[in-house]
């Protein structure tokens, strides 16, 4: 019979293979299991195991009739078979739903800034039903002098820590300037507080992010890509593909497609949608045009298998398979308005379980 360290290792290997909701119940078995499951090292090991084994999708919809946001966790297969419906415990003060800033290791960063600047930021683990509302950021600047804020969310693997970065511009920044003075603040989950890193010169950024290679990326209005290294906490500039350097930023969307830094160009006048990918991260000459498709209004979501969910001119969702260059029916029923539809690849985890100041959802 196995005893001591060998027994403990065996228990950990077995528990690591269980779904997050099952592990929540397993905490009640005994004190040693509780200590193990809530240990940050075990939580990280569970994430690493799920990265290789369990591929899921988090799907959001909005029912206009009931004014209700709905989330579902689904298998990442062709039918998106539903695993569970998730109650959404938050109510937006400014819009029908929150904007999803990013989703990393099962932790979702939500912001209530779709309509206007807000301090409402939430880290939410939908599977284990825990959340943390970030404290208000205090700056030594009059609130009347503050303008737009841009948020980013990522994970520092060297410190097993999640970070939210907030870039705060003063009022009426020059959108086309190469550099603009901004206040930089970083929230670290390990300390549960904001640290203001002073001022920095950063071009005005679009609010959408792409998290690739441990770096948060945004499109800048001066026709650059700006990255923030979550581990090193430093900014860096990257070049867009030569063809896109004269494009209107409003026609571009930055994304992570098959774990590659990517940019969609939505040519409203040409009626064409193209995808550019950076095959060799950090090498500007490695940008290549992956595909061009016609007569679609916008990209709605990306699948981990390389498929793209598109909205056509008639307002319907269609699946484009980039490998076969074929359009397929989007077989998943979307409740409510297409406008509220959003989908992200999701990695089930226990993130936030070890945070004493996080809250459970009743």
Query: What is the pLDDT, as a whole number, of residue 297?
Result: 66
Which H or E element spans position 203? Answer: none
Q: Is the predicted pLDDT of residue 362 greater than 70, yes or no? A: no
What rounded mean pLDDT belongs to the chain? 87
Mean pLDDT across 298-322: 82
pLDDT of residue 6: 60
pLDDT, average across residues 292-302: 78
Does an H or E element contain 220, and which? none
Is residue 60 a contact partner of residue 341, using CB atoms and an 8 Å limit? Answer: yes
pLDDT at 238 over 80: yes
Residue 213's pLDDT band, with cuts at 50, 70 and 90, is very high
Burial of 33 (0-12, 13-18, 19+ CB in 10 A): middle
Read off the pLDDT of each residue in 161-174 and give the average, rounded to a whole number.
88
Residues 62-99: pLDDT tens digits? Answer: 887 788 888 999 998 888 889 999 988 888 887 888 99
Distance of CA 284 to the CA centre of its chain: 24
With a cut of 80, say whether residue 317 has pLDDT above it.
Answer: yes
User: For residue 4, what is the enclosing H or E element?
Assistant: helix 4-16
Q: Count of alpha carbons within 13 Å of 112, Cβ hemisphere only?
A: 14
Give the span between the Cα atoms of 349 and 134, in whole angstroms.
20
Contacts of 265 (CB under 8 A, 6+ apart): 244, 247, 251, 252, 273, 274, 275, 276
Provide the CB-side half-sphere exposure for 142 (13 A, CA). Answer: 3
Half-sphere exposure of 127 (CA within 13 A, CB side): 25
Do residues 335 and 329 lie in contact, with contact meaning Cβ atoms separated by under 8 Å?
Answer: no
pLDDT-based confidence at 2, cuts 50/70/90? very low
Averaged pLDDT for residues 19-29: 93
> pLDDT confidence of 254, banded at 50, 70, 90?
very high
199-208 pLDDT, tens per residue?
A: 888 888 999 9
Mean pLDDT of 145-161: 91
**According to the model, what pLDDT value does residue 312 have?**
77
Q: Cα dist. 353→41, 95, 105, 338 in Å?
A: 12, 29, 13, 33
């Amino acid at each position: 019979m196995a005893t001591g360290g060998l027994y403990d290792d065996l228990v950990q290997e077995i528990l690591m293979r269980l779904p997050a909701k099952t592990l929540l119940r397993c905490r009640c078995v005994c004190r040693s299991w509780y200590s193990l499951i809530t240990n940050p090292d075990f939580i990280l090991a569970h994430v690493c195991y799920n990265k290789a084994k369990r591929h899921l999708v988090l799907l959001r919809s909005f029912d206009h009739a009931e004014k209700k946001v709905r989330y579902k966790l689904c298998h990442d297969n062709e039918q998106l078979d539903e695993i569970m419906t998730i109650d959404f415990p938050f109510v937006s003060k400014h819009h029908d739903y929150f904007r999803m800033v990013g989703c990393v290791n099962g932790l979702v960063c939500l912001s209530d800034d779709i309509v206007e600047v807000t301090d409402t930021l939430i880290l939410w683990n939908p599977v284990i039903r825990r959340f943390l509302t970030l404290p208000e950021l205090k700056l030594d600047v009059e609130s009347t002098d503050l303008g737009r804020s841009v948020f980013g969310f990522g994970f520092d693997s060297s410190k097993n820590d999640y970070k939210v970065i907030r870039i705060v511009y003063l009022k009426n920044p020059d959108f086309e300037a190469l550099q603009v003075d901004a206040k930089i603040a970083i929230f670290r989950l390990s300390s549960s507080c904001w640290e203001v890193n002073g001022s920095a010169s950063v071009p005005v950024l679009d609010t959408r992010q792409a998290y690739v290679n441990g770096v948060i990326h945004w499109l800048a209005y001066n026709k650059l890509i700006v990255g923030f290294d979550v581990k090193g906490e430093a900014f860096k500039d990257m070049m867009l593909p030569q063809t896109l350097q004269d494009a209107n930023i409003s026609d571009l969307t930055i994304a992570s497609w098959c774990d590659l830094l990517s940019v969609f160009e939505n040519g409203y006048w040409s009626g064409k949608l193209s995808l550019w990918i950076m095959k060799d991260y950090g090498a500007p000459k490695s940008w290549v045009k992956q595909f061009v498709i016609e007569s679609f209004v916008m990209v709605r979501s990306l699948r981990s298998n390389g498929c793209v969910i598109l909205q056509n001119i008639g307002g319907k969702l269609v699946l484009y398979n980039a490998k076969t260059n074929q359009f397929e029916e989007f077989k998943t029923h979307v409740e409510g308005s297409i406008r509220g539809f959003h989908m992200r690849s999701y990695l089930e985890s226990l993130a936030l379980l070890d945070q004493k100041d996080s809250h459970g959802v009743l």
